[in-house]
Amino acid sequence: MRIAVYPGSFDPITKGHLDIIKRASKMFDKVIVAVVKNQSKKPMFTFEERRELILRSVESVGWVDNIEVEEFQGLLVDFMHQHNSKIIVKGLRFVSDFEYEFQQALTNRKLDEEIETMFMVTCYKYSYLSSSIVKEICMLGGDVTDMLPEAIIDDVSEQIKQRTKK
Ligand code: PNS
């Protein structure tokens, strides 16, 4: 069984993430969306919230069959071993993503030489998107249509506004 792991913060999931999940789910028997728990950058949404937002987004577009959402902390390679996967999937937006992603891919390969990182070039419509940009726009009262999955847009934008209210 070909199992891929798509790791990230997903704080919250954007349409760019959803596009990568959809495309990866067509290439692998199973895609595990690995939501990092402990991170230096403090997430706005809890793991449970991020998980629920990912599942709701995925379910609303009907790709649930081979997608799982799991929490992980510690090393990604340890998570890969626990889930019998050797393939990390990452989305690449710009050349500026590349340096950081290249370093992570090489580090993960150093930790386990059998682990491969596969980069998927993001859909150009979402190439400017990031969770941080979405949070900033919501916080400042801008329109995030086309940035967040339709199924979660109202809830997420309201929650971001509430949580960033001074
Ligand atoms: O969405 P993000 O914040 O870019 O995701 C980064 C993430 C979670 C994929 C990365 O920080 C990660 O893999 N963390 C696990 C710690 C680890 O394994 N570090 C060594 C490899 S760089």
Q: CA neighbours within 13 Å on the CB side: how many for 113? A: 0
Residue of 5, 40, 104 to mutate, ligand 1, most atoms within 8 A of C-beta: 104
| Tens-level pLDDT at each residue, the chain (166 residues) | 999 999 999 999 999 999 999 999 999 999 999 999 876 778 999 999 999 999 999 999 887 789 999 999 999 999 999 999 999 999 999 888 899 999 999 999 999 999 999 999 999 999 999 999 999 999 999 999 999 999 999 999 999 999 988 6
Residue 41 annotated to the active site: yes
Q: In what order do the strands lie in the sheet with 3-8?
A: 67-72, 30-36, 3-8, 87-92, 116-121
- The pTM (predicted TM-score) of the whole model is 0.96
Residue whose CA lies nearest to ligand 1 atom number 8: 8
Residue whose CA lies nearest to ligand 1 atom number 13: 76
* 146: region left, alpha or beta (phi > 0 left; psi from -120 to 50 alpha): left
Q: Which of 38, 2, 53, 4 is nearest to 24 (CA)?
A: 4
